[in-house]
């Protein structure tokens, strides 16, 4: 692989990738944590422990491979010609997605309250 050391020339992209990776990994307070938590909790509550272990194994493998990708691409010594950050539109969109991922975790109360309210209005839902 001819990548490495890109954090020096692409710091915004590197930090955005790392923070979005934290969400995919399920690291709190990012939005991905709550989705993983809810899936694993639901599996445990329904006595499907083997499914919970499969989800946990998948979460651990996700952490391992995303940290490896970050390390190979952004850390270490540069192995190719120096590259620079993308255009302003690309950087803004990546930074915006990163901010939304973090906000989704920090402000989880509001969407969860909306979801609970919606579910209570549906017929046939046990209250």
pLDDT tens column, 37-52: 888 998 999 999 999 9
Q: For all residues of the chain together, what is the average pLDDT?
A: 86
**CA–CA separation, 70 vs 57, rounded Å?**
20
- pTM, entire model: 0.75
Per-residue DSSP letter, 107: T
**The predicted structure's pLDDT at residue 127:** 55
78 or 125, which is more confident: 78
**The predicted structure's pLDDT at residue 19:** 93
Q: Say whether 39 sits in a helix, a strand or coil.
A: helix
Pick from 29, 27, 25, 21: which is nearest to 97 by CA?
21
**The predicted structure's pLDDT at residue 125:** 62
**CA–CA separation, 97 vs 88, rounded Å?**
14
**The predicted structure's pLDDT at residue 110:** 76
How many C-beta atoms lie closer than 10 Å to residue 93's C-beta?
13
pLDDT interval class at 82 (50, 70, 90): confident
């Amino acid at each position: 692989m001819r990548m490495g050391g890109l954090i020096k020339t692409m710091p915004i992209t590197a930090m955005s990738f790392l923070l979005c990776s934290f969400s995919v990994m399920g690291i709190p307070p990012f939005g991905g944590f709550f989705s993983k938590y809810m899936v694993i909790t639901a599996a445990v509550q329904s006595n499907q422990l083997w499914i919970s272990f499969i989800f946990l194994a998948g979460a651990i493998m996700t952490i391992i491979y995303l940290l490896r990708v970050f390390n190979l691409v952004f850390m270490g010594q540069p192995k190719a010609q120096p590259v620079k950050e993308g255009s302003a539109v690309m950087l803004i969109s990546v930074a915006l997605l990163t901010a939304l991922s973090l906000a989704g975790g920090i402000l989880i109360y509001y969407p969860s309250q909306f979801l609970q309210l919606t579910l209570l209005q549906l017929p046939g839902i046990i209250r």
